[in-house]
Amino acid sequence: MEKIPVILDTDIGFDIDDLWALVMMLKSPELDIKLIATDTGNTYYRTKIVAKTLELAHRTDIPIGVGIPLSFQKENQIDWVEDYDLSRYPGEVIEDGVGAIIDTIMRSEKKVSLISIAPVPNIAAALQREPRIVNNARFIGMHGSIRKGYLGASSPDPEFNVFQAAKSCQMVFEADWPITITPLDTCGIITLKGDHYQAILNSEDPLLKAIVSNYFIWKKNIDWPKYKDLDPNTVSSVLYDCVAVYLAFSEELLEIEELPLRITDDGRTIIDDRGKKIRCATSWKDQDKFEDFLRDRLLH
């Protein structure tokens, strides 16, 4: 199998789904992970989560880029890495994460899939510093809300990864590269529950045990109204970011529409004939089959 070179840009450590997506990526034989870059908030805290996870996976061959810190976000998984010494990490940690994104794309012999599961200040900065990255990369994002909002709401919402850095998102969406996104319409309804979730909860796999440990820590530290009644013993949180990882190697279970999109200054994603045509995963062909696939991939 010819592997797809990928970069992951993540704000891991805020919502728990980034860790699920990272583990899914590490377990995906279709992907050749060239770099993981941390984005937004305390990017050193985020780098510690990535580094500890890569050690557990025996994948310290993957370099980590420390991205632009910018705004503060609550460190919801800090308990898991509070005592982790990043200076002892045996792999490569690159202080200039934006430069690492540029170098990885520009040096790649094959087009890189840049998977963003975060606000995009790193990627906007990379475009400003080296506009030619668009010639050797495609952008795959967990971004936007087109016809449905959070938790399947019947009207769209300002989606977090967009409105946190709307100006940066405008730059990324308007750049001259292929873009495919999973908006809330498809990624905002994915959870594992029942036997699917119990298989993860009871697994002895070190990476899945890390997910579960982080999940309980995260739930204790958040005060988000939408998750007030969420029980980590019975169901996952919404696994938005896993859909973006899936799109890096398959679209089989998703309906893709090409829509002209525009990002507004207040962080909304709207269909506008003046916008750039973007490939959007707007509905599922078979959501149950994807959740089966996700369980099997994580347990592999």
Percentage of the chain modeled with pLDDT above 90: 96
Beta carbons within 10 angstroms of residue 278's beta carbon: 24
Q: How many residues does the chain have?
A: 300
What is the value of pTM for the model shown?
Answer: 0.97
How far apart CA 84 and CA 254 sit, in angstroms, is 39
Of the two residues 107 and 1, the one the predictor is more confident about is 107
Q: State the DSSP H helix or E strand holding residue 33, giving kind and residue range, or none if neither.
A: strand 31-38
CB crowding 65-99: b at 16 or more within 10 Å, else e = bbbbbbeebebbbbebbeeeebeebeeebbeebbe
Domains annotated on the chain, with CATH:
4-299 (3.90.245.10)
226-234: long-range pairs with CB below 8 Å, 24+: 226/150, 226/151, 233/201, 234/193, 234/197
Average pLDDT, the chain: 96
* CA distance linking residue 46 with residue 67, whole number of Å: 9
Query: Which structure tokens are listed for 140?
Result: 């795959």
Residue 74 pLDDT more than 90?
A: no
CB atoms within 10 A of CB 283: 14
Per the rule left: phi > 0, alpha: psi between -120 and 50, beta: everything else, 110 is beta
Question: Is residue 273 predicted with pLDDT exceeding 90?
Answer: yes
pLDDT per position as a tens digit, 240-265: 999 999 999 999 999 999 999 999 99
pLDDT 10s digits, 116-159: 999 999 999 999 999 999 999 999 999 999 999 998 999 999 99
> What digits encode the pLDDT tens for the residues 53-62?
999 999 999 9
Residue 251, strand partner residues: none
